[in-house]
Structure 1
């Protein structure tokens, strides 16, 4: 087995050990079975949710909200971050307010959002947009401001206009930082999706699956929902990392 493949399998050791401990605990009654149902029961619940289509409807609703909030927050973050990074005047005008805004806990906005937008999908998307906005703004601004002075000096000597400098020097140099912000926005917006569905309870979603399981004391449904949330988050993380590697190779060839 190649070292790289062995590295992938090492990452599965801890989850497999956790599942084994879970099975042993349930089988031998180490923990009250009402609180920790056997893995077989969770698998039966998973099959029930999948075959009935309940999982796909809940997951589709959650992913649609996540995508909308991610896109709105990311686009707004790119514009605001670019303005903060490129314009000293805009930075002096808006920067202090933004730095104050980003210190407010995301969940502190829920009472205000629920009053303004209700408990439906609009409120959830607004909440997710806020979750995606901040990391994109911060990383975009820092990436632009972190452009090496030597590159700017070369652009000046070559007679680049301001827009040429931005398009051909500043933005390529800032791309890794910008991508980091977008990657964080993707992860944060997914985490916020579950929080929004749990706290703004109207509508369908995977977060509401957890609520249903909790209200009816169905630990099998709660554990199933947690596994689904973890797997979706893992898939998002893996996809973003793969895209990041491709971007890195492309930037390396373009340099």
Structure 2
């Protein structure tokens, strides 16, 4: 067993070393463009280079942000949006893991369901909104179903691909050691597929957040950060629109950072085992 584990580690290291070596020593350079854009924005508003009704000043957006946080409106909106996002993400991820596992492990199921799923995933996600609005209305149920679809697709694809792309060398070693089918699945295929599976879950988290904003914008009933953008655009409050966009970007950035942190922890734990 120790020889097999050593071989697994060697194969995994050979496949993942190159991407991990791509690191930037000057991370601060990533702030150059945002700072430049902020300065250009401030200068344009101060010098009246752009119609103030279309591009409000950074100070006005800051005042709106203070008002939103002090009144608690932003917390209510974010709580509603994140609640829907987490519900849709959980449902879609669970269903995606099950469906992806069946497609990857059961050849007969893949032959029967695979072609239909490949057709299904070609349909634009937002094309489902008219149908969902008829079936479930404009409330939270329709939004959660929509978010579940957004999370489902990347999880299914990456789970199935991760299972099917298990390195042949690992399977050969498992056969030499006399592994049973169950031992091969739990001790070889699933560990080898973990990076691909996690990629699918990571994409599901990001896609479901992006879909949350789209669902709230197009299915406008209810409360949420997407509805904050709708309110701002309907009342021509560009400060509220820009503030909402900044909040959406920051939340997405935090999700990305947390997902990467969890990925590193899982990778380290898998490496130790």
Query: TM-score scaled to structure 2, two decimals?
Result: 0.90
Q: Which residue of 2 aligns with 1:127?
A: 146
Pairing 1:1-255 to 2, within 5 Å after superposition: 7-254=26-273
Q: Residue 6 and residue 89 in structure 1: after superposition, are their counterparts in 2 closer, same or farther (change >3 A)?
A: closer
Long gaps (5+) in structure 1: none
Tell me, in whole angstroms, the C-alpha distance in 2 between the residues paired with 1:84 and 1:145: 9
Which secondary structure does the structure 2 equivalent of 1:11 belong to? helix
Which secondary structure does the structure 2 equivalent of 1:12 belong to? helix
In the TM superposition, what is the alpha-carbon distance from 1:197 to its structure 2 partner?
0.1
Tell me, in whole angstroms, the C-alpha distance in 1 between the residues paired with 2:31 and 2:260: 18
In the TM superposition, what is the alpha-carbon distance from 1:162 to its structure 2 partner?
1.1
Tell me, in whole angstroms, the C-alpha distance in 2 between the residues paired with 1:70 and 1:9: 32
Which secondary structure does the structure 2 equivalent of 1:147 belong to? coil
Tell me, in whole angstroms, the C-alpha distance in 2 between the residues paired with 1:250 and 1:119: 43
Tell me, in whole angstroms, the C-alpha distance in 2 between the residues paired with 1:165 and 1:81: 18
Long gaps (5+) in structure 2: 1-22
Give the aligned length.
251
In the TM superposition, what is the alpha-carbon distance from 1:247 to its structure 2 partner?
2.1
Query: TM-score scaled to structure 1, two decimals?
Result: 0.96
